Amino acid sequence: MLNLSPDNRVPELERTSLKAFRTIGQARANKLFAKWVMAICAVILIGLFLPWTQNIRARGTVTSLSPDQRPQTIHAIIPGRLEEWFVREGQLVNKGDTILRLSEVKAEYFDPKLLDRTQEQITAKELTAKSYDEKVHSLDAQIDALSGGLIIKLEQARNKIIQARLKLQSDSIRVVASNTEIKVADDQYARGEQQFKEGLISKVELERRQVAQQRANANLIDAQNKLLDARNELLNAQLDLNGIRNDYRDKLSKAESEKFSSMSQMYTTEAEVSKMQVDLANYTVRAGNYYVTAPQQGYITKAVVTGIGETVKEGDDLVSVMPARFDLAVELYVRPMDMPLINKGQKVRFVFDGWPSIVFSGWPNTSYGTFGGQVAAIDNFISPNGKYRILVSPSPDEQPWPDAMRVGGGAIGFALMTDVPIWYELWRQINGFPPDLYADPKGVSTKDQPEK
């Protein structure tokens, strides 16, 4: 049993006194390894304080900044049968150049003289409407004539009424005079009888007075008859006045009814003319759609419908065209978490498919083969893929983008943010924080930080 008390320590071996230790020697690899570990740790520690540019990485495609400069597909406006091609794929066409020709497939448009016959129908309808218009003018003249005749007839009837009233007054006076004559004749005859009895007058004189009395009675009856005739004439004149009004009212109503009927037929015909003119315009436009033309200068990229004699429906794809002139841009999709940090005009670096590059996303100044851009537009609504779309245009103060680049190519974008130490970036990545959300005022540079 070993004595392990402090007073009885085990003596240390002298390595040099033993031959085995002298043969093996002391290992130097431990010291060298320790030095390398310390050096590497020092380099890593110093590297943690190097500046690092925060960035948001996103993948996108090359597109055009303007919608009218993007690839487009020409559709069939009308259904038809493909008859002839005038271009080839890859050919440059100018605006208005004919691409292909279609023929009609609907039976109602087969007539080769459809436009001429429709125009003839329109001319006939216009002449019909003109004849109705002339009839309306004739009826207006007839109504005016009837109105004038009514005025004249009414004036004549009123004059007859005035004459009848004057005659009635004259006959009334004559009746009064006849009554006076009868009274005088009666008085004379009565006195004559008295005088005849007294022998003052002869019987001849009495008979003469009797005759005068009878003549006065006859005159009274005649005057009364004329008075009745005058009254009847006045009544007839008044009835004639009402009859004239009713007669002319009937004639005017009939003329106006014919006038309104003619106007209705005229308006109906004009409506038919307008409808036929619309049909003629539609036929004319449809005839122009038999030839499909280029909407702008561009290249024929792909013919969707190829066979001669193939029928297409309204809205079917015919051919795709790529505009000859376009302003390049890149369409990127960023996460909603990074969206609040993207601002219009912000700098972006790109790596395009087909252009070799050496990229250090945190050190854009040391990257090789990348191209610069700036944010031109930001969507306010999320895309179906759950990300927000941004458009990035070439930066005017940096190297221009390659001329050989085409729309549809792939691109990887790095939206540059704030410069921070590497240790801060590692801490942010480990915690899953977005760029610029947490920043140390002493250790983080605010240079080139975008405005919030």
Give the model confidence (pLDDT) of 12-22 as tens digits.
Answer: 656 566 666 66
Judged against a pLDDT cut of 80, whether residue 55 lies above it is answered with: no
CATH of range 72-103+291-323; options 1.10.150.120, 2.40.30.10, 2.40.50.100, 3.40.1440.60: 2.40.50.100
Alpha carbon distance 265, 276 (integer Å): 16
Judged against a pLDDT cut of 50, whether residue 247 lies above it is answered with: yes
pLDDT score for 326: 82
Cα angle for residues 328, 333, 334 (degrees, 5° grid) = 130
- Please name the residue ranges forming H helices in 28-113: 29-47
Q: What is the mean pLDDT of residues 124-135?
A: 91
Q: Which of 159-168, 323-332, 433-442 has the lowest mean pLDDT?
A: 433-442
> Which residue would you say has higher pLDDT here, 136 or 354?
136
Q: Count the Cβ atoms, other than its own, within 10 Å of residue 236.
A: 14
Judged against a pLDDT cut of 80, whether residue 171 lies above it is answered with: no
pLDDT score for 445: 41
Judged against a pLDDT cut of 80, whether residue 73 lies above it is answered with: yes
At 212, which amino acid appears? A
Q: What is the mean pLDDT of residues 305-323?
A: 87
Residues 79/292, Cβ–Cβ less than 8 Å = no
Alpha carbon distance 280, 290 (integer Å): 16
Q: Count the Cβ atoms, other than its own, within 10 Å of residue 144.
A: 11
Banded model confidence at residue 443, pLDDT cuts 50, 70, 90: very low
Q: Count the Cβ atoms, other than its own, within 10 Å of residue 226.
A: 18
Residue written as token pair 């376009």: 326
Judged against a pLDDT cut of 80, whether residue 275 lies above it is answered with: yes
Q: What is the mean pLDDT of residues 423-429?
A: 78
Alpha carbon distance 334, 332 (integer Å): 7
At 267, which amino acid appears? Y
pLDDT score for 359: 61
Alpha carbon distance 179, 394 (integer Å): 129
pLDDT score for 363: 60
Alpha carbon distance 425, 53 (integer Å): 9
pLDDT score for 450: 40
Q: Count the Cβ atoms, other than its own, within 10 Å of residue 4.
A: 8
How many angstroms separate the Cα of 332 from the Cα of each of 25, 44, 125, 197, 416?
Answer: 66, 34, 61, 154, 14
Query: Burial code of 339-377, b = ≥16 C-beta within 10 A, e = fewer?
Result: bebbeeebbbbbbbeebeeebebbebeebeebbbbbbbe
Banded model confidence at residue 166, pLDDT cuts 50, 70, 90: confident
pLDDT score for 271: 92
pLDDT score for 440: 43
Structure tokens belonging to residue 318: 């015919």
Partnered with residue 332 across adjacent β-strands are: 60, 390
Q: Which of 163-167, 179-183, 200-204, 410-414 has the lowest mean pLDDT?
A: 200-204
Structure tokens belonging to residue 157: 């009837």
Q: What is the mean pLDDT of residues 302-307?
A: 84
Alpha carbon distance 114, 107 (integer Å): 12
Distance, C-alpha 85 to centroid of its chain = 35
Alpha carbon distance 75, 319 (integer Å): 7
Structure tokens belonging to residue 168: 């009635």
How many angstroms separate the Cα of 414 from the Cα of each of 74, 348, 404, 418, 450?
Answer: 36, 5, 22, 12, 15
Alpha carbon distance 432, 259 (integer Å): 88
> Which residue would you say has higher pLDDT here, 341 or 100?
100
Q: What is the mean pLDDT of residues 77-98?
A: 90
What percent of the chain shows pLDDT beyond 70?
85
CATH of range 114-288; options 1.10.10.10, 1.10.287.620, 3.30.450.40, 1.10.150.80: 1.10.287.620
Q: What is the mean pLDDT of residues 239-261?
A: 87
> Which residue would you say has higher pLDDT here, 450 or 325?
325
pLDDT in tens, 208-246: 777 777 777 887 788 788 878 888 888 888 888 888 888
Banded model confidence at residue 267, pLDDT cuts 50, 70, 90: very high
pLDDT score for 123: 92
Kind and range of the H or E element at 264?
helix 203-288
Alpha carbon distance 299, 322 (integer Å): 5
Distance, C-alpha 377 to centroid of its chain = 27
Judged against a pLDDT cut of 50, whether residue 448 lies above it is answered with: no
**What is the pLDDT of the chain when averaged over all its residues?**
80
Side-chain half-sphere of 314: how many Cα atoms within 13 Å? Answer: 7
Architecture label for domain 52-69+326-431: Beta Barrel (2.40)
Alpha carbon distance 33, 161 (integer Å): 149
DSSP secondary structure letter of residue 450? P
- Residue ranges of the domains in the chain? 52-69+326-431, 72-103+291-323, 114-288
Minimal CA–CA distance to 412: which of 368, 350, 366? 350
Judged against a pLDDT cut of 80, whether residue 349 lies above it is answered with: yes
> Which residue would you say has higher pLDDT here, 303 or 196?
303
pLDDT score for 124: 92
Q: What is the mean pLDDT of residues 371-384?
A: 87
Judged against a pLDDT cut of 70, whether residue 122 lies above it is answered with: yes
pLDDT in tens, 386-420: 888 989 989 888 888 888 788 888 888 877 777 77
pLDDT score for 113: 87
Q: What is the mean pLDDT of residues 102-122?
A: 88
Q: What is the mean pLDDT of residues 374-387?
A: 88
pLDDT score for 346: 82
pLDDT score for 8: 55
Residue written as token pair 């409506």: 271
Residue written as token pair 């974008």: 413
> Which residue would you say has higher pLDDT here, 171 or 130?
130
